[in-house]
């Protein structure tokens, strides 16, 4: 068995996958290089759908190439911000929405997610997930916008109504150099 605690993004996805079954609709709010998109597409199978958002053309090109390499065709790539997810996906229909915040690995580090749009996107995600669904957020606070974004996201999440949501937060407390942190939000049935 591998040590998931040392690989934060894999830990985040391993929990998320327990909420997904073949035929589901899921959202990759920040498709980036397409790694999460491929994992989600495999989880929902050919009968399911993945909606993958990113504002950067390079992210779409990287994701398209990765999907082609893996022979995956059940993904709708949308070159828009995740704040537009409500325009593309019906409310209460997705099993999961995944956010990987920060910047595109290997891309322009000046283009990042930000506190205001991320909280707005999370609000959209809560409307998009079905009862029993999950929103997964992997946060990186080592970039210029990161600390403010993380603080805003955690403040927002802490204020969610406990009668409607469960919220869990994982931080690698003894690790230096801004390791990623995870936030999970599930909508009560």
Q: What is the pLDDT along the chain (189 residues), one digit of tens a residue?
A: 567 777 888 999 999 999 999 999 999 999 999 999 999 999 999 999 999 999 999 999 999 999 999 999 999 999 999 999 999 999 999 999 999 998 778 888 778 888 899 999 999 999 999 999 999 999 988 777 888 999 999 999 999 999 999 999 998 877 777 789 999 999 998
Alpha helix segments (H runs only) across the chain: 8-17, 35-44, 57-69, 85-88, 115-128, 146-158
pLDDT on residue 158: 98
Topology of the domain covering 12-168: Rossmann fold (3.40.50)
Sign of the alpha-carbon dihedral angle for 86, 89, 95, 101: negative
**What is the reported pLDDT for 109?**
76
Give this prediction's pTM. 0.95
Closest CA to 89 of 126, 119, 117: 126
């Amino acid at each position: 068995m591998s040590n998931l605690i040392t690989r934060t993004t894999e830990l985040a996805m391993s929990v998320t996958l327990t909420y997904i079954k073949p035929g589901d609709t899921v959202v990759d709010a920040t498709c980036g290089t397409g790694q999460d998109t491929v994992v989600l597409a495999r989880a929902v199978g050919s009968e399911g759908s993945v909606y993958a958002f990113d504002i950067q053309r390079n992210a779409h090109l990287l994701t398209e190439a990765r999907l082609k390499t893996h022979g995956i065709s059940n993904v709708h790539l949308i070159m828009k911000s995740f704040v537009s997810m409500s325009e593309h996906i019906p409310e209460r229909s997705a099993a999961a929405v995944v956010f990987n915040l920060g910047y595109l690995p290997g891309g322009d580090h000046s283009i990042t997610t930000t506190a205001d749009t991320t909280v707005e996107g999370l609000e959209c995600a809560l409307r998009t997930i079905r009862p029993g669904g999950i929103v997964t957020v992997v946060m990186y606070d080592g970039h210029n916008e990161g600390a403010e974004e993380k603080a805003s996201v955690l403040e927002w999440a802490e204020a969610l109504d406990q009668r409607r949501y469960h919220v869990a937060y994982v931080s690698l407390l003894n690790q230096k150099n801004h390791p990623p942190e995870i936030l999970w939000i599930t909508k009560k049935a």
